[in-house]
Amino acid sequence: MATREDLLAAAAALGTPLYVYDIDAVRARLARLREAFGSQFGISFAIKSNPNLALLRSLAPLVDTFDVSAFAEVERAIAAGCEAERITFCGPGKRAEEVRRAVRLGIGYLVVESLHEARLADRFAGELGCRQIVLLRINPATSPRAFGVNMSGKPSQFGIDEEEMEAAIDAVAALPHLDLVGFHIYSGSNSLSVEGLAENFVILSDIFRRAVAHCGQSPRKLIFGAGFGVPYLPSDEELDLAALADQVLPGIAALRAEAAFAGARLELELGRWLVGPCGWLLSSIIGAKASRGTEIRICDAGFNNHLAAYGMMGSVIRRNWRIANLSNPSGETGRYTVVGPLCTTIDTLATKLELPVATIGDVISIENSGAYGLTSSPTRFISHPEPREALLEGGRLTDASESLLNHWRLADN
C-alpha cells in the first residue's frame, strides 16, 4: 500500500488536489478476491466506479469483464484494451443510439433492463444483419437487510421486476435477433455485512434457478451483483472476505451441481471494493482560522472534488471519513472543522476531527477515495481547478490526469 512518503512525494510532484491510485494495491485486492472465491466466479469491474483511462489500462488484463453503463464507457473500455466481447453493458436508461452502437460493435453482453430496450436491440440487430447476445436484468422482490444502498425490493428503474420475470423471459426469448444467454442481478451496494451479502447470494441463486427453469435453457452467464462495501468511517470494519466465502461457496457449489448450471459462467460485478481502498484524495490546507471557539481548516478540495467524502452521495447524514495529516502524522493533536474552498456552508468535510496539529501548507489525505471520487463530483461548480489524477505502480508515479478543467492558462499573470 502507498506509504505516507509516497503520497507526500506525489503531492509535491503534481500539486493538490490530487487523486492517487495505487495499482499494486488493486492487484493485491484482486488476488485476495480470487483466493477467497477460487475459480467459482469471474470478476467484472464496474468502470463507473473509476473510469480513469490509465487505471482501466492496468485493470484490463487483470479482470475478466468490464461492466459499463454508457456508450462513452464502452469507448473507454475499448481504448483501455478490453475487447468488445468482454464488455457487459448495463444501465436503466440506454439511449436508442447507444443500443444501436453497442449492437453494431458486437458488444459481448447487452444487459437489457426493459422490454422496450430488448425490442430496440432486436430491431437494430435485424437492420444490421447480426444477432445480439443479451442478459436479462431482474430486480429482486426482496433485498437483504444489511445493504448500504438498496436497489431492489421496491419500485425501481433497474431491470424487470422479479414478479414479472417469467413473462419478460418469454417476450425476450421470442425476439428473432436476440440470444438470451443468462441473467443479471444487482440489488444493492456498499454492504460490509457478511450475513447481508451471504443472504443476497441465496436470494439471487433462487431467482436464477426459477428464471433458468422457466427459460428451459442452460445459462451461459449469470451475474451476481455483489455490492461488497469498504470501511469509509473510522468505526467501520473491513469486510471479512474469508468468512463471506465460507458462507457463500457451499450454496454456489450446490447450484453448480445442478445439471442446468454446470456450464454457466458466474461473475461478481464490483467497483468500490476493488479500487476504493486503493485511492486517496490529497488536499492542501490553504487557510486556518479560529471562529467562535472552533478551529477551522480550509483545504483546496471541496465537495466539487469529492462529493461522497463530503457526505453528499449515498449517505443521509454526513460523517467524518478516514482522514490523515500526512505532513504532521503524530504528536500533539487539535480538533478541527475541515472545509473546502466553496462559498457554501455545505462544503464541510469533517467536524470535530482529531488530527495532529494542522497548519497552512499541510497535506491531508482522504482515504478510500479510489471509487466514486472524481467521477462522481460536480467539478464545474465554482470553477476551481479540477484535481489531477496519478497512478502509483512499482514505486513509480505517473500523471494520469485526463482533464485540467479550470487550470489557469493566462500566461505571465
Ligand X SMILES: Cc1ncc(COP(=O)(O)O)c(C=O)c1O
Q: d(Cα 13, Cα 8) in Å, to the nearest integer?
A: 9
DSSP string, 201-247: HHHHHHHHHHHHHHHTS--SEEEEE--B----STT-----HHHHHHH
Q: In terms of CB distance, is 228 or 336 closer to ligand X?
A: 228
**Shortest Cβ distance from residue 160 to ligand X (Å)?**
14
| Shortest reach from residue 269's CB to ligand X, in Å | 5
Cβ 273 to ligand X, closest distance in Å?
6
Decide whether 342 or 371 has the Cβ nearer to ligand X. Answer: 371
Rounded least distance, CB 276 to ligand X, Å: 7
Shortest distance, CB of residue 321 to ligand X, whole angstroms? 16
Q: How is residue 308 annotated by DSSP?
A: T
Distance (Å, whole) CA 283 – CA 384: 13
Q: CA–CA separation, 356 vs 352, rounded Å?
A: 13
**For residues 67 and 295, which CB has a smaller minimum distance to ligand X in the complex?**
67
Q: Smallest distance, Å, CB 331 to ligand X?
A: 36
Is the peptide bond between 17 and the residue preceding it cis, with omega within 30 degrees of 0? yes
Toward ligand X, which CB reaches closer, 268 or 326? 268
Shortest Cβ 257–ligand X spacing (Å): 27
Closest residue to ligand X using C-beta atoms: 271
DSSP three-state, residue 273: helix
Cα–Cα distance for residue pair 166/160, rounded to 1 Å: 10
- For residue 398, give the C-alpha cell: 505517473
- Helices 165-173, 194-215: crossing angle, 10 deg rounding: 50
Q: Report the residue number, 196 or 227, with the smaller CB distance to ligand X.
A: 227
Q: How far apart are CA 226 and CA 184, in angstroms?
A: 11
Minimum separation from the CB atom of position 187 to ligand X (A): 9
Helix (H, G, I), strand (E, B), or coil: what is residue 353? strand
Task: For ligand X, give the closer residue by CB, 144 or 271.
Answer: 271
Applying CB under 6 A, the residues found at the interface with ligand X are 46, 49, 67, 90, 186, 189-190, 225, 227, 269-273, 371
Q: Compare residues 149 and 286 and give the one whose CB is closer to ligand X.
A: 149
182's enclosing H/E stretch is: strand 178-186
Nearer to ligand X, 19 or 186 (CB): 186
Which residues, listed in sequence order, are joined to residue 282 by a DSSP beta bridge?
Answer: 18, 365
Q: Where are the alpha helices (DSSP H) in 216-332?
A: 241-257, 272-275
